[in-house]
Chains A and B, each alone.
Chain A
Amino acid sequence: MENFPLEEQPMKKSLFKRLHDQIFYQSMIWPAVILMILFNFIPMYGLIIAFKDYTVLDTIGGAPWVGLSYFKEFFKDPLFWSVMKNTVGIAFWKLLIGFPGAIILAILINEVANAHFKKFVQTISYLPHFLSWVILGGMVITWLSDSGFINSLLMDLNLISKPIEFMADTHKYWGIAVLSDFWKEVGWGTILYLASMTAIDPSLYEAAKMDGATKFQQVIHITIPGIRQMISLNLILSIGGLLGSNLDQTLVLQNSLNYSSSEVLNSYVYKMGIKQGNFSYATAVGIFVSIISLLLVLLSRWGTRKISDKSVF
């Protein structure tokens, strides 16, 4: 076989001949195509069961159509709305604390002058991201238990006289979910900001200092505009993921006592579908979540484009 660079070959050759010439490259792409069809596209076809009355005895294609009846069913279900409230509430607080938290932390880390200490802070702060939620969930439950260090600390400081039952209190679950997620991810969230801060021209800061700008003014007028693109990209991604509540986290931290404030859409779909076998109902809820998420992405994309005049996609 001849091995001339492919692009120098005349275009007049037949499709078959050209396919034959690039058989090596074609054979590299086909495994991925087959994987995509089997594991991505055929499951997408499975979404139609939301509009069908599917039971374990049916095939996806063969089940009878029922239209929107499952969508109507969950809209009328009071449990669905309490799940919705938990999902939006927890996600809202995660966004409200986590999003600015990562930006502020990145700015502060960036200001650390000593390179070794900076590296040390980064090393420590990224570590929790690599712990699985099973591990972290087990840790959170241990920290918050009667004999855990948080209760011990509060008792040593005489702030409480008997241990607080953190995991059994419905009023504390949101806080536990939000703060444990913040603790795990805030350090990791700084990486992209720190990377884009290195691209800011240092002479801008020099010039600002000449003109007598304070640190705070430098941050507002140089650092933040310098990472604006990254901020809007992250905002779009976070808002798009608002309803895609963290199933890993929920299943570990949830128990029968905090259930009423810990059940979120994903865990609801998991229980309804996988555990109880209401496949069509659970799929309908899943589709509803996807549509709302898509609308949120489009909305936030439109919003950030208004602000920064530049699309991030």
Chain B
Amino acid sequence: MRKTKEEKVFNIINLVFMVFFTVIIAFPLINIVALSFNDPMDALKGGIFLWPRKFTFESYRTVLENHAIYLAFAVSIGKTIVGVLLHTFITAITAYALTREDLIGRKFFEVMGILTMFVSGGMIPTFLVYKSYGLLNNFWVYILPVLFSFYDVIIMMNFFRGIPRSLEESAEIDGATPFVIFAKIIIPLSLPVIATIALYHGVYQWNDYMTANIYVNNEKLFPLQQLLFKIVSENLSPTVATGTAVVRDTTSQSMQLATMVITTIPVVAVYPFLQKYFVSGLTLGAVKE
């Protein structure tokens, strides 16, 4: 079909808008990277946009000489790996059990799960209860409360339901035990949905600072994001005397930028993989008609 004049004009305007939009998103991000490679004192003069004016690795060197950041990195990596493995495992076994039509108590378990999606104890009761479990200043507070998520269980259930029942039935006839069927047939066929759940939970674990902020005050247990939160929030100290200016320590500003860039690298690294599962992750979980 031939394009009308009106369509051509629209396409050009749309193209220009899209370029403008991507610049609005990308420019500020590039600006941060450029700043992090710029000399801290020089950066204070302003006027740095897309490229450092006085190039230096100094900020990165200072950050990487700081031992606290290695410990925080280790905590972040630890909670991400342990969290992803356990969360994905619990999600998979729960979802598989719930897809068995004849599971005794299935309706009851589903109602329980749906309740957890809509009702919660809220911040304070949850805090007090977790405190009584001994989860304050405990590494497992990052892992245990988010092990189970009914959203993720629904996503997996929808995927499992798409696997033909005949595959399981023929394996049963061949004498395979339920465990073998689950481990050797279901799991290998479900790698896309497992990757979706694992990647999303991984990003959650990596980015979460609120759990540490509420439940942890032992700095040795801080993940990278909480360390960064402390740097950002304590760095911005108003000078009460003048009452107006927000003064920031120059060296710590550049360190802060370098830490931010380092912290973001793992997320950017898995981003291409995440992208593969964007739509499946969201639409599999979307409410069915």
Contacts and interface: CB of A to CB of B under 8 A. Distances in A.
Interface of A: 1, 3-7, 15, 18-19, 22, 24-26, 28-29, 31-33, 35-36, 38-47, 49, 54, 60, 105, 108-109, 111-113, 117, 120-121, 123-128, 130-135, 137-139, 141-143, 145-149, 151-153, 155-156, 163, 165, 167-168, 183, 187, 191-192, 195, 206, 209, 214-215, 233, 247-248, 251-252, 255-257, 266, 269-270, 273-274, 279, 282-283, 286-287, 290, 312-313
B113 A274 contact: no
Given A47-B121, A49-B124, A35 B29 contact: no
Contact of A152 (B47, B90, B148, B260): B47
Contacts, number: 288
A111 B1 contact: no
5 contacts: A54-B128, A131-B264, A138-B257, A148-B46, A282-B124
Contacts of B245: 165, 168
B109 A269 contact: no
A35 B287 contact: no
A28 B6 contact: no
A136 to B, nearest CB: 9
B14 A112 contact: yes
A183 B24 contact: yes
A215 B236 contact: no
A2 B31 CA distance: 66
B21 interface: yes
Contact of B22 (A113, A125, A163): A125
Interface stretch (B62-70, B77-85, B173-181, B188-196): B173-181
B254 to A, nearest CB: 10
A36 B109 CA distance: 10
Interface of B: 1, 4, 6-7, 10-11, 14-15, 17-18, 21-22, 24-26, 28-29, 31-32, 35, 43-49, 90, 93-94, 96-98, 100-105, 109, 112-113, 115-116, 119-130, 133, 144-145, 147-148, 153, 169, 172, 175-179, 203, 206-210, 213-214, 225-226, 228-229, 232-233, 236, 238, 244-246, 248, 253, 256-257, 260, 263-264, 267-268, 271, 274-275, 278-279, 282-283, 286-287
B103 A32 contact: no
A148 B47 CA distance: 7
A307 B139 CA distance: 49
Contacts of A108: 14, 17-18
Nearest to A4: B172
